[in-house]
Structure 1
Amino acid sequence: MPPSPPSPPSPPSPTAIAGFSISTCIGRGSYSTVYKAHKNRGKYEVAAIKCIQISTLSKRSRENLMNEIKILKQINHQHVVSMRTFTWDARYIYLILEYCPGGNLAEFIRRKGSLTEFMVQHFAQQLVQGLEVLHSENIVHSDLKPANILLSIPPVGSCRNVRLKIADFGFSQRLQNNEKYTMGIKGSPLYMAPEVLRLQPYGSQADLYSLGVILYECLFGSAPYNTTDLNVLTKQILSNDPIKIPKTIDMSEDCCDLLARLLVKDQEKRMNFKQLYHHSFVDIEHCPTLENYYKGVSLVRQATMMDNARIFEDARAFYVEALLYLVPVYHWLDSFNDNQRKWLSRRVQEYFTRAEQITIHHLSTRTC
């Protein structure tokens, strides 16, 4: 009979973590408990504190924890959860982490049922940027799933302000050059690439398969293989049958192409990071950033100059390019207030209208 898993650690005393008072438990695992906490002196500040009970850690678990700390100390990116510091006492190791009050993506999908393609594209852009910075440091997450993707703030209204944060690096590894890694089956098989389940050496391509499953779940409300039977699930993932993209929702060709290329079971044939970063659905070039807002404004100025000079074909091209930057900014950039957003909405509509007018005029002139 297999041994029972260790019991979750009991809550540490609020005085056990210097400078912080623990309030509520916000998550539990086999070897750790995560609490919401706040500084008990100085400026009020909220944090998430991951408490790992030292006595429950095996040698491998200690190595994983040290890897997690090293990775979190090094990575500083808006789409990766940050670690402020870590400390320990005789019983616990404490990771003082950024607090994300919006919960996780798994909870968000359950509440919504499924997400629009427009929102999935916005989420994909954020996740790809976070994964890209990990990939640039030769880090494989190895346990990418909706429950390990946190929301920076509670989603309300249009969810414009939601920022995704990749979290939980307990199974992550740093690889050297083109090194492959064999971890064994840990984490959630539902999101694991076939090469991981086969116990084959794998690299960052495994994270891309997991990303495909996550985006699929965002669009359809459940993962491609939706069963609680581990044996059935394993057979489905390891089968040679390709994952079919349902036609139950309207989906752009770009979105369908991205899913199909991420969910390839052969890691050698799966798309790579360079292809992902430049894929037209992800469209990193036109992400909603303040920098891209100014790019759009600059393009509009050039369009207006060409328009006034009656160089209409060039004017239309500049208007269209400007809109590729300004439309995502209007929908998603969270640094604009309501008045600024209303102003930008009017301007975007004006540029759309003017580009259409030039197109119609150009076509009628050609016909004549």
Structure 2
Amino acid sequence: MAGPGWGPPRLDGFILTERLGSGKYATVYKAYAKVGAGRWPCARPSYPGWCRPGRLREKDTREVVAIKCVAKKSLNKASVENLLTEIEILKGIRHPHIVQLKDFQWDSDNIYLIMEFCAGGDLSRFIRTRRILPEKVARVFMQQLASALQFLHERSISHLDLKPQNILLSSLEKPHLKLADFGFAQHMSPWDEKHVLRGSPLYMAPEMVCQRQYDARVDLWSVGVILYEALFGQPPFASRSFLELEEKIRSNRVIELPLRPLLSRDCRDLLQRLLERDPSRRISFQDFFAHPWVDLEHMPSRESLDRATTLVVQAVKKDQEGDAAAALSLYCKALDFFVPALHYETDAQRKEAIKAKVGQYVARAEELKAIVSSSNQALLRQGTSARDLLREMARDKPRLLAALEVASAAMAKEEAAGGEQDALDLYQHSLGELLLLLAAEPPGRRRELLHTEVQNLMARAEYLKEQVKMRESRWEADTLDKEGLSESVRSSCTLQ
């Protein structure tokens, strides 16, 4: 084994080169597999046992890997357990956004973890060199991180040390996140409580610091801190000393989000729900994965194009049957999958073919939108007398009258140019009240009128929601170029 300052250690079958990073117990090196030899028995999920030195198979080219060297003499009982847990977890995991453990071996001085090499460095450096990330880029990265965490959550695995330094990038040209460093990871459900401090203070959940008792939800807090840092350039508890940091973590003050840069409502909502000090009020894992800003359902994948195509076939059928509203809805839903399909596609010719089809479907959707909008306006006019009667019957119900006034304001916003999002927000606020009032309303004429009004408003809100999403999808599809996401990242995050 080489000592400090003596260069990397020697390992049979590999050429270790530059040092990529180091910690208390380990140093990570970039390495090349020697020509004619490779050692990836652990890469096969069916391999039943632990890898042993000397199991080789032929390789034609030198593969680049990262080798984590752990000095045996630096290990205490706890660090040995952490290392064994890391190996046990990683050897059974294959996920596109989790760094892959290819093999491991040992000699008299070190234990070597042979890992997938990520040429783009870590997320901390990526953020630091750009100061902040645009929301659009942060959202793509958050989808990838959420995908990895969902995979782990389904297997009751908690990472417990989530931070930008432990999130690697596959490359800078086409960056994909790779969750790494499972040294503190544990098999635990959201309800298993632990008492051992793990992780880094800046990203550590308050319940872990204050009570030394926590469960899997600490990972969600860490995700919130990472997202905050990506969007605002520093974590919410940035401090000049550990005492200042500890005071901020232990404080009961609500974390306020900076007003700049401007962020979408969904993004701010997710941040506030992740950075909830009380774990019982923090967003749940399922709600996090389903949150509209994360929107894992529409994450770019190989299935995106198939799902879009299936919806288009249904849309065309409804269109041919003369059901304009149903056809429009299906075309809008298809666009939600066509955009991630464009992100996922790497072949330039296939990407151009998809974009051409998307243009045709958008054009038809716009035609259907005009037809449906005209029909909806006619229905609204027809319902005016019933709506006026309902207002007259609501004079003794101030809460009902107020909710109906909000609905009227939504209709006015809808007719104004560019007021779709504001109208949708007002419709949703009004419906939240009206549904509660409808449930409590006794049988009678007023209940019948209220039920009809709620149905009409729900249809308007759903229609507007589809229009807002279609506009966003169309804009995003139009801005995609031949290099897809990688170009979006480069154009939004040019290196300084």
User: Shared topology, TM-score over 0.5?
Assistant: yes
How has the CA–CA distance of structure 1 residues 9 and 329 changed in structure 2, closer, same or farther, with 3 Å as cutoff? farther
- For 2:183, which of 167, 170, 174 is the aligned residue? 170
- Check conservation: 2:157, 2:185, Cα contact below 8 A: yes
Between the aligned partners of 1:10 and 1:229, the Cα distance in structure 2 is 34
Match of 1:349 in 2: 359
Structure 1 stretch displaced more, 303-312 or 135-144:
303-312
Across the aligned residues of Structure 1 and Structure 2, the Cα RMSD in angstroms comes to: 1.9
Q: What secondary structure sits across from 1:247 in the alignment?
A: coil
Structure 2: distance between partners of 1:119 and 1:177: 29
- In structure 2, the residue matched to 1:337 is 347
For residues 123-161 of structure 1, the C-alpha deviation after alignment (integer angstroms, 9 at most, x for no partner) is 11111111122222222211100010011122x3xxxx3
CA shift, 1:314, in A, is 1.3
Q: Work out the CA distance in 2 between the residues paired with 1:138 and 1:76.
A: 15
2:82 pairs, out of 52, 64, 67, with: 64
1:4 corresponds in structure 2 to none
CA contact (8 A) 2:189 2:215 kept: no
> In 2, are the aligned partners of 1:8 and 1:32 still within 8 Å (CA)?
no
Indicate conservation of the 8 Å contact 1:114/1:221, yes or no: yes
Cross-structure match for 1:226: 238
Partners of 1:175 and 1:9 in 2: CA distance: 40
Per-residue deviation, residues 52-71 of structure 1 (Å, max 9, x unmatched): 11111112111111111111
- Return the structure number with greater relative CO, CA threshold 8 A, min gap 6: 1
Q: Paired residue for 1:188? A: 200
Q: CA 1:61/1:199 → structure 2, altered by over 3 Å: closer, same or farther?
A: farther
In the alignment, the residues of structure 2 paired with residue 230 and residue 197 of structure 1 have an alpha-carbon distance, to the nearest angstrom, of 13
What displacement does 1:308 show? Answer: 3.1
Which structure has more helix as a fraction of its residues?
2
Query: Does the 8 A contact of 1:293 with 1:325 survive in 2?
Result: yes
1:284-299 paired onto structure 2 within 5 Å: 284-299=296-311
Residue 288 of structure 1, CA deviation: 0.9
**Per-residue deviation at 1:250?**
2.3
Runs of 4 or more, structure 1, over 6 Å off, are: none
Give the counterpart of 1:88 among 106, 119, 130: 106
Question: 1:103 aligned to 2:121?
Answer: yes
SS of the residue 1:74 aligns to: coil
The one-letter amino acid paired with 1:17 is L
Instruction: Report the Cα distance in structure 1 between the residues aligned to 2:287 and 2:281, rounded to whole angstroms.
Output: 12
Q: Are the equivalent residues in 1 in contact too, given 2:266–2:292 (CA < 8 A)?
A: yes
Cα distance in 2 for partners of 1:199, 1:101 equals 39
Structure 1: stretches of 5+ with no match in the other structure:
1-6
The amino acid of 1:313's aligned partner reads: A
Measured after TM superposition, the shift of residue 252 of structure 1 is: 1.7
Q: Counterpart of 1:119?
A: 137
Q: Which letter does structure 2 place at the counterpart of 1:140?
A: S
Q: How does 1:166-315 map to 2 (within 5 A)?
A: 166-175=179-188, 178-184=191-197, 186-315=198-327
Q: 1:367 to 1:254 in 2, by over 3 A?
A: closer
Indicate if the aligned counterparts of 1:9 and 1:31 stay in contact, CA closer than 8 A: no
User: What is the CA-CA distance between 1:212 and the residue it aligns to?
Assistant: 0.5
Q: Is the 8 A contact 2:221 2:276 kept in 1?
A: yes
Structure 2: how far apart are the matches of 1:9 and 1:316? 67
Separation (CA, whole Å) in 1 of partners of 2:101 and 2:371: 57
Q: Specify the SS of the correspondent of 1:93.
A: strand
Q: For the residues of structure 2 that align with 1:101 and 1:192, how far apart are their CA atoms?
A: 27
Shift of 1:336: 2.6
Q: Show the counterpart of 2:72.
A: 54
Going from structure 1 to structure 2, the CA distance change for 1:179 and 1:127 (only over 3 Å counts) comes to same
Which structure has the larger Rg over C-alpha atoms? 2
TM-score by length of 2: 0.68
| TM-score (normalised: structure 1) | 0.90
Q: CA deviation at 1:228?
A: 2.9
- Contact 2:103–2:115 at 8 Å: present in 1 too? yes
User: What CA distance in whole angstroms lies between the structure 1 residues aligned with 2:377 and 2:221?
Assistant: 50
What is the distance in 2 between the residues matched to 1:349 and 1:228?
Answer: 53
Per the TM alignment, residue 363 of structure 1 is displaced from its structure 2 partner at its CA by 2.0
Residue aligning to 2:393:
none
Partner of 1:327: 339
For residues 63-111 of structure 1, what are the alpha-carbon distances to aligned partners after superposition, in whole Å with 9 as ceiling and x for unaligned?
1111111111122211111101111111111000011111111111112
Counterpart contact for 2:170–2:177, Cα < 8 Å:
yes
Alpha-carbon distance in structure 1 between the residues aligned to 2:21 and 2:63: 20
1:258 CA drift (Å) = 0.8
Q: Is the 8 A contact 2:190 2:217 kept in 1?
A: no
Q: After TM superposition, give the deviation of residue 214 of structure 1 in Å.
A: 0.6
* 1:9 CA drift (Å): 8.6
Contact residue 101 and residue 113 of structure 2 kept, 8 A: yes
Structure 1 residues 300-356: Cα deviation after superposition (integer angstroms, max 9, x where no partner): 1221232233321111011000011111222x21x4322222222233233233222
Count residues in correspondence.
352
Aligned amino acid, residue 334 of structure 2: A
Does residue 137 (structure 1) correspond to residue 137 (structure 2)? The answer is no
Report % sequence identity. Answer: 40
Deviation at 1:10, TM superposition (A): 5.6
Displacement of 1:25 after TM fit? Answer: 0.9
Q: 1:259 to 1:367 in 2, by over 3 A?
A: closer
> Residue 361 of structure 1: CA displacement?
2.3
Give the counterpart letter for 2:31 in structure 1: A
Return 274-283 or 132-141, whichever deviates more: 132-141
